[in-house]
Amino acid sequence: MRLLIMGPQGVGKGTQAALLAEHYGIPTISTGDIFRYNIKNKTELGLEAMSYTDKGELVPDSLTNKIVKDRLAKEDCANGWILDGYPRNASQVEALDEMLAELDTKLDHVVALEAGRDVLLERMKKRAAEQGRADDTPEAIAKRLETYEKETAPLLDTYKSRGLLVAVNGVGEIDEISKTIIAALG
């Protein structure tokens, strides 16, 4: 099973990705985790990423694409994977399409978790309090949600037109949401 899990910040992508990965016996691939791993281990890709992050800049798509491509080629991804946090824009969709063609594989489904803005804001406020995350300020949250709406949400139409989109309500009990996703994936 090769899945993308998409949705705005705070919708529960990471939580559901972990449950789905366990259910299907495949790895979850979070671009944030990949960056942290490569930076921590001072890989060539990690050092290149640091040249941007150390200056407070976003890592460019070209490097993000290289890191994802490198990860998808690893042996543990042979039987499937879940991508969380990628693609985030139309350019990354094109890059992912090229990667999958080179790997002679296809995307099975795109799970879109949905929740109202008020729910998302409340969840991120709670996460900030529980985890002490400095990046979960009201201003940062609002900016991330705006960026999602502008750059990432339109990608759902692309995947819908390809017949890959599975939209699921991300509000409710975690286990029930997971069961709903698994049932929708067949």
Active site residues: 13, 88, 127, 133, 144
In the numeric block, the tokens 């979850």 are attached to: 28
Rg of the chain on CA atoms, in Å: 16
- Residue 10 assigned as binding residue: yes
Collapse the DSSP code of 109 into the 3-class scheme (helix H, G, I; strand E, B; otherwise coil) and give the result.
strand
- Residue 123 assigned as binding residue: no
CA distance 84 to 111: 10
Would you state the structure tokens that stand for residue 46, as one six-digit string?
A: 């990690």
- Residue 92 assigned as binding residue: yes
- Residue 57 assigned as binding residue: yes
CA distance 7 to 172: 15
Q: Contact, 77 vs 83, CB < 8 A? A: no
- Residue 12 assigned as binding residue: yes
CA distance 25 to 19: 10
- Residue 32 assigned as binding residue: no
CA distance 20 to 131: 23
- Residue 163 assigned as binding residue: no
- Residue 43 assigned as binding residue: no
For residue 105, count other CB atoms closer than 10 A to its CB: 15
- Residue 27 assigned as binding residue: no
Q: Which residues are annotated as a binding site for ATP?
A: 10-15, 127, 172
Q: Which residues are annotated as a binding site?
A: 10-15, 31, 36, 57-59, 85-88, 92, 127, 133, 144, 172
Residue ranges of the binding site for AMP: 31, 36, 57-59, 85-88, 92, 133, 144
